[in-house]
Structure 1
Amino acid sequence: MKAAVGDRLIVEATRGTSTRHEGFIMQVDHPDGSPPYLVRWLDTERETLVFPGPDARVVQAGRADLAPATSATHLGPSGTAPAAWTSSA
């Protein structure tokens, strides 16, 4: 798995959990983009260090077709959607 700052990490629901978790990758320490990643979760806005498992996938920044619907819980501190949700298309 390889990622860059601004990409999204999606962890699918497992072991009886009913929702998947989505967050933005805030920090990547390895030059090759390998884990671990510092991730800010959309539902809680908490940041955690993540070593993704087989139930996780990375969505590259700029993939507007995969962006979640903008809502109050997904807005950045300035009240706008993160730049990774927008595209120039």
Structure 2
Amino acid sequence: MKWLVVPVDELKQFDKYWEYRRKSVDGTQAIIHEGTYNRLVPPVVTIPETDDPIEVTYPYPLLGGEELVEMLNTSEWSTNLDLNEKI
């Protein structure tokens, strides 16, 4: 699974459930699942003439796996500072 890190001020503009998203400790950023973001803000892509997969580019960081766990375990995202614990 992949997640986008979106500024809360921008998230409020298109997500009526923004208050329920996981937010940073200071409340300025939130994470939203890539699929949910795509439903709320459908990606605009040019359809290539080949059968190559289409890569969507987002205006926000897209994180997943260990990279997401590491971010969520930082002091910016968690008041629980046990960085050895997995989320």
Q: Normalized against structure 2, the TM-score is what?
A: 0.31
Write 1 or 2 for the structure with the bigger share of strand: 1
Q: Which has the higher contact order (CA 8 A, sep 6+)?
A: 2
Larger radius of gyration: 2
